[in-house]
Chain A
């Protein structure tokens, strides 16, 4: 078991730099999820930790050993791939045993470890099968088994669940979390799915365009996003963003509505800014309200079963409201309010979070 430290990692392919100056400290036993849109460089970071890509600059340490120039096999890591990468011509047993044989473990030891992993993953009856005779979920387990038998200090997962159907994905997510609890080994998990990030992680790393946008616990990331990107990427449906301007007594939206701002402590030197609010934080009323409430037309409603989403527009901007079930009347209009404590303010220029002045 070990901690993983990234110090100013960069990666260039030819002249294009795809990972810029990434630094992070992952503690021993943590479940780290690196999340970001496709092509953001998150897989590259993982593959550099694995040793499958060389770093162009910076240092990677696994358990205070500098591993920059170590071969993957010597880094005491194990990896699970998106397409599983099982050896198609070997049966399940040999798929798991192959690495151990190359490490020159004794036959008895190999047998013991493979049986142990097979039992943990309920693969016992499939040991003699070839990968193509297995279902997607079973292949996934074999891939995990192959990682498990190595008894690595760090597990690396590269979008391991994205080839599974929704139901199986949920099931494997739970099992993965259980496995982490049992083993207590450091795990680094790459995904583009923010739900996986929120549910699995002890610590989330949000990556965008080759840079780290934010590192934090799921709660921190959700409640205190460091930028518009993080706020928009984490959460489903995503946070609403509305361009606004300072005006007397508040913030003026594009349709002229003014959010009362006497109790808002925003920096007044920024005239233009972007207001963010989570869909579930917007208050809604069927009844006509007075000041501070905005009358809107409801364009349509998406029923989710457990709740519903209301779609409306403010000027050219779409606004999504998330509500519990209840009043099932056909709603075509209503009044909404933005509670001051639920608002986030982002820079118009670079999308960074604007600090609220402490009063």
Chain B
């Protein structure tokens, strides 16, 4: 390896540690806020070191929720987020794998038409067609339902492209060997294609799970029933209530809980996460 001057090395570490601290600072503040009682959190200056009310606050968030007037339990919101994220992740993987399978392994009329129809969704993020999509969901009576939360978000060109790419790298001979062994399309898909794509599936799952969990605008629009609130949009409702009841410690506890699942996924499955990110985005 090339020269490592102690001074430049020290400088590099110094800047990087500053960067890490900068990136982590907001989270630290959140954690500190979540570990003090409500009374402490209205006195200026706020603490910079953790207090000892963390588990109290945790319990409070789960049993009573935040902002008593609005009072949704954090547990319910977490559950809603989990269900939505899982539905989006499984739904997206399922439909895009099937369509990629059809497009790669079959030759049929309108194949390219379908391909372009899927491709064009790349250019239509939910934000730009928000109002008419809302109307469609309303007309289908899917407001305030898990279906309404997840289904409009599960079609995506990127996932289809990723599977298409994966399938194209599978050697043709594998299909031929399977045909000689007597496997039809469905057997081949289940016995061969699915198992050999499993790391790609896992990588995509990580990315889509985070994408689903972090949805904000869409749940904000289509859920009016408190029982359907997701944790990410729930935080927003709490922050709005802060004027009346500044329960910052509970709000920040909830924020922490909202961040936790996706952050754990990213750090715990870093390899899959990076694979997923770099492969779906190109």
Contacts and interface: CB of A to CB of B under 8 A. Distances in A.
Contact of B176 (A52, A87, A88, A99): A52
Interface stretch (A73-81, A205-213, A302-310): A73-81
B141 interface: no
Contacts of B192: 87, 89
A81 B181 contact: no
Nearest to B195: A89
Contact of B180 (A73, A82, A84): A73
Interface string A205-248: 00000000000000000000000000000000000000000000
B182 A79 contact: no
B187 interface: yes
B176 to A, nearest CB: 5
Interface string B235-268: 0000000000000000000000000000000000
A87 B174 contact: yes
B176 A81 contact: yes
B176 A73 contact: no
Contact of A102 (B173, B176, B182): B182
Contacts of A51: 179
Contacts of B198: 89
A70 to B, nearest CB: 12
Contacts of B195: 89
Contacts of A78: 180
B6 interface: no
Given A89-B195, A98-B191, A102-B187, A79 B174 contact: no
A167 B195 CA distance: 35
Interface in A250-281: none
Contacts of A71: 179, 182
Interface in B144-199: 171, 173-174, 176-183, 187, 191-192, 195-196, 198
Interface string A41-60: 00000010011100000000
Given A81-B177, A85-B177, A103 B171 contact: no
Interface residues of A, number: 24
Given A102-B182, A102-B183, A103-B182, A89 B176 contact: no
Chain B at the A interface: SS class = helix
B180 A83 contact: no
B183 A72 contact: no
Contacts of B178: 87, 98
B180 A79 contact: yes
A215 to B, nearest CB: 26
Q: Main SS of chain A's interface residues? A: loop
Contact of B181 (A47, A50, A52, A99): A99
B171 A85 contact: yes
Interface in A13-35: none
A83 B173 contact: yes
Nearest to B187: A102
Nearest to A81: B173
A71 B176 CA distance: 11
B180 A77 contact: yes
Nearest to B172: A85
Contacts of A52: 176, 179-180
B274 to A, nearest CB: 22
Given A81-B173, A83-B173, A87-B174, A99 B196 contact: no
B180 A72 contact: yes
B57 to A, nearest CB: 47
B187 to A, nearest CB: 7
A98 B192 CA distance: 11
A79 B177 contact: yes
Interface in A78-116: 78-79, 81-89, 98-99, 102-103
Closest 4 CB pairs of A and B: A99-B181, A73-B182, A85-B173, A85-B177
28 contacts: A47-B176, A52-B176, A52-B179, A71-B179, A71-B182, A72-B180, A73-B179, A73-B180, A73-B181, A78-B180, A81-B173, A81-B177, A82-B173, A85-B173, A85-B176, A85-B177, A87-B177, A87-B196, A89-B195, A98-B181, A98-B183, A99-B181, A99-B182, A102-B181, A102-B187, A103-B182, A146-B177, A146-B181
Given A85-B171, A103-B182, 7 more contacts: A52-B176, A78-B180, A84-B173, A87-B177, A89-B198, A99-B182, A102-B182
Interface of A: 47, 50-52, 71-73, 77-79, 81-89, 98-99, 102-103, 146
